[in-house]
Amino acid sequence: MLSSTTRLKLYRILNIDLFISRRISAGDGQGRTSPAVKVAIASVALSIAIMIMAVSIVGGFRREIMQKVTGFNAHITLYSGDSGSGVLFFTPELDSIISKTPGVRSRSLSLSAPVLLKTPDAFKGMYLRGLGADADTSFLHSCLMEGRLPRADRRELILSQGVARHLSLHAGDSLNLFMVSDRISARRMCVSGIFNSHFESYDEYYAYAPLQLVQQLSGLRSGEGSSVDIFLNDFEATPEVSSSLIERLNDGIVAGELNQVYNLDTARNRGANYFAWLDMLDTNVWIILTLMTLVALFTLISGILIIILEKVRFIGVMKAIGASSSRLRHIFVLLAVRIAGIGLVIGNAVALMLVGAQALWHLAPLNPDAYYIDFVPVSLSLPALLGINAAFILIIYLVLILPARLVSRISPSESMRFEQ
């Protein structure tokens, strides 16, 4: 433990060093900041702002793409393993096993069947997916462009905007639906709503209707479908929950509680190309972070060296009156940290304002055909923001020790000759 006298002495020394570093940054002694300091501050501010925006944009893309992939595909999808009819029987025993698996948030029976949609002027083949009463429809709600979701007691369906345009349909219009299985089933359907997720690979091939209606068209009874959609509390826990669920299903089959085998698939597997695209974006972000850090360090080091050269006479005088080289190095490190701190504050303020404006008003648009979304998404977490700033400050402090060591090589006599 340091004595009170020693602590007081250290406090005074630190205050004096901070005061001197502030005076040095003023440049001309009249409060006007040195050009080298201005350039260094601007470089740090620009670099940290670009870093924060890059991380927030990639985070936004990850959030939006994940919402879309898991909107069309459940976190885990359970199929019948029978090679015959492929019908899955959602028995109470199966429901109990799934619901009791740790990490499972919800589950619902689903049914997809191929259908032909026809109007007087056009037709379109696609899959009709049944929405059960307990199905998670929040994603479809968020994608609705007009109308509403279909009601369970009516012959209604929703179509994507591209399909509706192809068939010249709007919300409230009617069309003929045909399903061919063992027999041909036909229904007159009403378009209750139109959605657009900008995922053409799904939008062009899926329409949605009440589960009971799709079961009737397919000749199936209540509790029968093509899959069970399972959503988890944490999407990142999909591998662990999948393994646990497979083990529980196998135990149920061995115990005689279940009378059929099952296949399991995940949203990450079904949307592998989208997640590979996100991984590529992550690589680009690391490149941006590295380049911006190097640019900021280069400018900051250059600024400190210029300031040291400008203050050679001051360094000589300080050494002549007894200041140690370590203390002078400490002064210039504090100066560099002060410059970096001002730049960090400005950069964070600018980045947060831009990210907030983009999140509220979607000022920067995108081509949805290329990016699956019509605006630049942003998402910035507090840990990510603090992590970027902490890592940046640490790197700056460690690197700036090197140019500050130049101070120890300057002697009072050399400083006088340098000034002349």
Rounded to whole angstroms, the Cα distance separating 257 from 12 reads: 77
Phi (first) and psi of residue 362, to 5 degrees: 50, 55
Average pLDDT of span 88-107: 94
pLDDT in tens, 352-410: 999 999 999 999 999 988 888 889 999 999 999 999 999 888 888 777 777 766 766 66
DSSP-derived secondary structure for 248-294: HHHHHHHTTS--S-EEEEEHHHHTHHHHHHHHHHHHHHHHHHHHHHH
Q: pLDDT confidence of 197, banded at 50, 70, 90?
A: very high
Q: Where are the domains of the chain?
A: 17-67+274-419, 74-270
User: What pLDDT is recorded for position 11?
Assistant: 42
- Report which of residues 408 and 12 the model is more confident about: 408
What is the separation of C-alpha 219 from the centre of its chain, rounded to a whole number of angstroms? 42
Q: pLDDT confidence of 147, banded at 50, 70, 90?
A: very high
3-state secondary structure at position 352: helix
User: From the CB of residue 217, how many other CB atoms can be counted at a distance below 10 Å?
Assistant: 21
Average pLDDT of span 302-314: 79
Q: Would you say residue 322 has pLDDT above 70? A: yes
3-state secondary structure at position 389: helix
pLDDT in tens, 337-366: 888 888 999 999 999 999 999 999 999 999
Of the CA atoms within 13 Å of residue 92, those in its CB half-sphere come to 0
Rounded to whole angstroms, the Cα distance separating 128 from 185 reads: 13
